Amino acid sequence: MDKKVTADTRELPDLSQEFKGKKQQEGPREFRVQHARGGLKGRWTMNSMTIITAALAIASIFITMIGASYYYNNMRQNLVTRTTQSAAFLNRFLNSSYEQFLSAGQSFVTGFEDKDKLEIQIVSYGGYILSSSSSFTQTGSAPGTEDVAQCLENNTTTVWMGKDTTSGERVMSASSPLYDSNQNLIGCVRCISSMALVQRQIVYIVLACLLVGLFFALTVELSNRYFIKSIVEPVMKINIIAKEIAAGRYGMRLHKVYDDEIGDLCDTINHMSEEISRAERMKNDFISSVSHELRTPLTAIGGWSDTLIAGGATDPEEVIMGLRIIQKESSRLTQMVEELLDFTRLESGRMKLNVELFDVGAELYEAVYMYENMLEKEDIQLVYDIPDQMCPVSGDRHRLKQVFLNVIDNAAKYGKSGGKIQIELSRDSYTVRIEVRDWGVGIKEDELPFVKEKFYKGSSKQRGSGIGLAVTDEIVRMHGGTLNIASTYGEGTTVTISLPLANTDTKRVEPTETIVAEINKE
């Protein structure tokens, strides 16, 4: 019986539009990293030294103020004590006679023992110096300071601090009132001390603070240099390695010394380098595989086309066989291009689902029916029992059918040596589960985690682009499901597809039996 042979005249899709659309999409997000001029070393030194300098300045001022207050108060207390004691001593010997007051005052000043430390003066009621322990002070002159005026006016011991009009140096003076035997104010005794020693002590405090601050600043600077060195040098090395990776030398690694943030960054860079290296190898393998996959059918098509055109095939059966080969290889090319199109749509996020409510068992049965005869010719037993109940899902029936065809095709391709493929469809209250099991060579344990990645083919020598399973997994995920692969090398592989069960309260779903009857009728 003659069979009619028709060539597949469908046009191959234009891949260029897919890639153009992908390029025109929005570029990757850019994350802003805050930084300033001067480098890490300069910024860290400037910031830390500014804080340290400010802190040291505040601490120095505070310590100096405390020291100055202590010395001034101590000096003030000593002067007040010395002046009141001198006034009390003189008051015991004074009577109402002014001459006796002058004589007693002169004797007390002449016999004063601490002339090298203090100057003591006897001042009259009118505010004039009657006698002084210092030879530089002119008797009969007026001190002209507030302590004398307030002491004579208020009859109280008064302290004054300021610049001496005679010597020009800063002094502190205290004045206490003197009384005669009738408790009448007749003058005051005045003690004067130079503040040069106190000021010298304050200068020493300031210098000590500066020296301590300088030592502390140097210590901090050395610590900063060590700390910055421990950060900047690893960052510079990481920068060098990153530039090497960017230049195409993938697989380079950094040696991690400590388990800190820099160590984590080293781990991240190493992982990135390994992933880029692996992706580069997979890309090259993919290009090589696709080139081979395209070249094989094109060679067959070209060879038979040349043979038929040249009239080399005279036998009608040979002509029909050549046309069938051309048709078969054209279908393979179309399928490969469709896979590439699906892959680019998924990568660019432009794959759309025509969502509807349907019985997933019907689509699975159609996929099984399409492969049943082909697998029978290859001596592969296909076992599938139609479930008793519907398994409704909400999704794109054509995309899910594509998933089933791809999984069954992989089972037939890699599990051929087992001679059997078993398909099971089940459901529970929330999930529809499809299991496709083969008894072929299985997948190696170290390759199993990567089989769903794009371009990955592992150690398999089977023909294929390496993107079919990646597309399949993405389609299942777009339906809210999962695709899991379990395999034991040498025993076979089980692919489990889980999809969420749809709610069928308000919508009608065409049962699997109707689809099966229509297929069998055809």
Domains, the chain, with CATH or none: 37-246 (3.30.450.20), 253-347 (1.10.287.130), 353-521 (3.30.565.10)
What pLDDT, on the 0 to 100 scale, is given for residue 457?
67
pLDDT (average), residues 229-256 = 76
Q: In this model, does residue 89 exceed pLDDT 80? A: yes
Question: 336 is written with which tokens?
Answer: 């490969």
Q: In this model, does residue 519 exceed pLDDT 90? A: no
Confidence of residue 433 (pLDDT cuts 50, 70, 90): very high
Q: In this model, does residue 321 exceed pLDDT 70? A: yes
Using the 8-state DSSP alphabet, how is residue 429 labeled? S
What pLDDT, on the 0 to 100 scale, is given for residue 132?
85
**How many angstroms separate the most distant Cα atoms in the chain?**
166
The verdict on pTM exceeding 0.75 is no
470, 343 in Cβ contact below 8 A? yes
pLDDT (average), residues 23-39 = 52
Strand partners, 500: 431
The more confident residue out of 84 and 296 is 84
CA angle 454, 456, 460 (to 5 degrees): 150
User: What is the rounded distance in angstroms from the CA atom of residue 229 to the CA atom of residue 225?
Assistant: 6
What contacts 235, CB < 8 A, 6 or more positions away? 40, 262
pLDDT (average), residues 157-165 = 87
For 398, other C-beta atoms within 10 Å of its C-beta total: 11
Range from 217-231, 303-317, 393-407 carrying the lowest mean pLDDT = 303-317
Question: 472 is written with which tokens?
Answer: 């399949």
Which amino acid is present at 419?
Answer: G
Using the 8-state DSSP alphabet, how is residue 509 labeled? -
User: What is the rounded distance in angstroms from the CA atom of residue 177 to the CA atom of residue 125?
Assistant: 9
What pLDDT, on the 0 to 100 scale, is given for residue 484?
93
The more confident residue out of 173 and 266 is 173
Confidence of residue 511 (pLDDT cuts 50, 70, 90): low
| Residue 473: closest CA among 485, 459, 483 | 483
Q: How far is CA 181 from each of CA 57, 76, 99, 175, 184, rounded to the nearest angstrom?
A: 57, 29, 14, 20, 7
Confidence of residue 498 (pLDDT cuts 50, 70, 90): very high
- Give the pLDDT confidence of 44-76 residue by residue, as tens digits: 777 777 888 888 888 888 888 998 888 889 989
The most confident of the ranges 110-124, 125-139, 147-161, 465-479 is: 147-161
What pLDDT, on the 0 to 100 scale, is given for residue 95?
65
For 500, other C-beta atoms within 10 Å of its C-beta total: 14
Average pLDDT, the chain: 78
Q: Where are the beta strands (DSSP E) in 35-181?
A: 119-124, 129-132, 158-163, 170-179
pLDDT (average), residues 374-388 = 83
What pLDDT, on the 0 to 100 scale, is given for residue 448?
85
What contacts 46, CB < 8 A, 6 or more positions away? 38
What pLDDT, on the 0 to 100 scale, is given for residue 515?
45
What pLDDT, on the 0 to 100 scale, is given for residue 436?
92
What pLDDT, on the 0 to 100 scale, is given for residue 460?
65
Which amino acid is present at 494?
Answer: T
User: What is the rounded distance in angstroms from the CA atom of residue 213 to the CA atom of residue 205?
Assistant: 12
User: What is the rounded distance in angstroms from the CA atom of residue 213 to the CA atom of residue 206?
Assistant: 10
